[in-house]
Every structure is written in structure tokens, then in C-alpha cells.
Structure 1
Amino acid sequence: MALSHAILSALTERPCSGYDLAKQFDGSVGFFWHASHQQIYRELTKLEQQALVTAEAVVQEGKPDKKIYRVTEAGKLQLKAWIAQPSKCTPTKDDLLVKLFVGYLVPHATVQATLEHERAQHVAALEAYRAIEQKYFADPEAMSLAARFQYITLRNGIHFETSWLAWCDETLATLETLPADRASPWAKPGEDIHP
């Protein structure tokens, strides 16, 4: 997926300024597609040049003028064509997993501390998702079609965080049962890889 598709997707919710889009991005699409505010502004310029969005200048009292961006019919067509294409499975890039792969190189407490730090972030993410669910999606039967699709993506986030936390807790429990032997699997018997 290109950033352009994420921006077009966000703008279909409502036309808005680049600033408002960047804030909206942080609270919706940004949960599964990260982009800096600078990247968003650059991409908006490209989308406008390609006639996939239009920008209407709005005069503001005591503030610089702002542009309100809207998806054009061409932008909607491109978004629909993109939705119809099969998605590619994204390879995992997770430095925590690389650290765990060679976790035997350090004391278990070091690995546990790293996991506990990551766990706290995932707990916070799950709590944020649950709060969004309660605030905006408390009654799935009363949702609009658009809201139901947005809820589907939120449920993915909730399932991911729940699954990740279960794996983390399992891993922390496993670390408690591991022997303190820190030898490399390639070391000679009895050879410790630490000074």
C-alpha cells in the first residue's frame, strides 16, 4: 500500500485541511499505517497534482489561510481499483524478535526487562483500542456501513494486541523456567560467552 491510498482513505471520511488530516491520521488510519506530518503534506501535494484530490483555499481571520482537501471522482476510482487488488503479505520486521532470537547472549533478566517494556506499550495500545470501541462502536447493530468497516479494522487491532499479550505472557513464563546457562549453542561445552 502506498501512503497515497491511506490518505485517500482518510479523506473519504471527511474533507479536511492537511493539519486536520494529520491529526485524524494519528487517531485512525495511523494505527495501522504510520506517516509523519511532513510525509502527509508532501503526498497531498502529489495527489493534488495528479487530480486525485482538490484543495480549496479557506481564508481565516488572524491565522494563515488553509486548504481543505477533498477526494475527486478520479481519486475515488483509483481507491476502488486499489481495494479490488489482492494485498501482499507484509514481511515481519520486528527488532524484539531478533533480540529474542539471540536472547541467550544476555542474562534472562535483561530479556525479561525488554519484554516487560514492550508489554506495557501493547497494554496501552489495547486499552486505547478498547476505549475507541466503547466510545464509537458500542452498538454494532446501529452502525452505518462505513462504521462497520472501520470497526472491522479496530477489531483486528484488538485481536492483534490480545494475541501479542498472550504470547508475551507465555514467553515471560517460559523465561522463568529456563536454566541460567548462557552458553552459546555453538560454544564448546562449559564455555560461557560472557566475560
Structure 2
Amino acid sequence: MWGGAMGRWEPGTGERLARAALDLFAEQGYGGTTVDRIAERAGLTKTTFFRHFPGKREVLFAGQEAHHRRFVEGIAAAPATATPLEAVGAALDAATAPVTRAQRAMGARLEAVVASTPELRERQAFKRAALAADLAAALRERGVLDPAASLAADLAVRAFTGAFSRWCRRGEARTLGEIARQELRELQIAMAALE
């Protein structure tokens, strides 16, 4: 057991809270889980929970800002000669590089909890739309005009989302980045078939 006397600024506190929340959401449902119960499961206080997250919904989406930043930085770091799809490919590489195999099991559980809760599905859709907007803005900064910037951004988000699901559920030996690149290629092929 974690013990309630742990310091509120102890490293890993946010991750402990996220794991406790995910465990409880899976066990008793999102609606049946309170912030008090999450904090208790993590061996922390409710006050500590609110120092890290504004509410129970956001505990599952922790780290999204850093995730978005890696995507945008990946586009900015792409060679000046990169096409829009090559730039979003670089963004996929940057965003998936820090993801480890150890995160796979948690990712699969997260997907299941989000899929079972309309409020969380809505929040996830909002986060994906925000990411697509950020990516389109980064592409426009590179001189890519709309609708190409928006379309390439949407494809990147779709590629990442599909890859993450495949990576979590299928026990793939490949990395998340490799699967994301494959998803992007498959989307390119699908677009070509529309002509």
C-alpha cells in the first residue's frame, strides 16, 4: 500500500493518480468513481489530486500538452523540402518515439474506459480536433496552404489514432511509430483511390 503520509510533490504522483483512476474506472465505471476514491487508491489526498488535475475526466488525458508539442515540433523539424505528408510523417515519428512497450497495457485499458463513457469519448474527440488544428497551424507556418494543411493534419491524427488502437490491441511486435507510418501510407493509398 502506498501510505497516505507521502509528500505531495513526490515524483510520479500524477502517474500514480492516473493509474488509480484507470483501475477504478475499469472496476466500477467512470460515473461510479469519485476523486476521493481515486486519491485514496493512490494513497494520496484529494487536495493532492487537485494539485495535479482539475477533475477526474482530465486525469485520463494527462500529458496531452506534451504530446501535442512533440507533434508540432516534429513538423517544425522536418526538412524545408518536405511535402505536407512528409512533414506529418516526421510529426508522427516525433510523437511516437517516447512511447514505450510498457505503456501498451495501460493504453489498451484507457481505450476501453474511454469507449465505454460518452463524456470521455466527447473529450477525446475534442482533444483530437485540437491536435489537428495545431498541426494544420504548424503546416501553415511552413507555407502549406489550406485545404492541404488541414487535410494533412487530419490524416496525421487519423494515422496516430488507428496506429495506437492497433498497437494496444494486437500485441504488435512493431513499434507504435512503425505502425503509425503504415497507417499514414494506407490513408494515402485510400485517398489516391478516390480519384
1 or 2, which has the higher helix percentage?
Answer: 2
> Normalised by the size of structure 2, how large is the TM-score?
0.30
1 or 2, which has the higher strand percentage?
Answer: 1
> Normalised by the size of structure 1, how large is the TM-score?
0.30
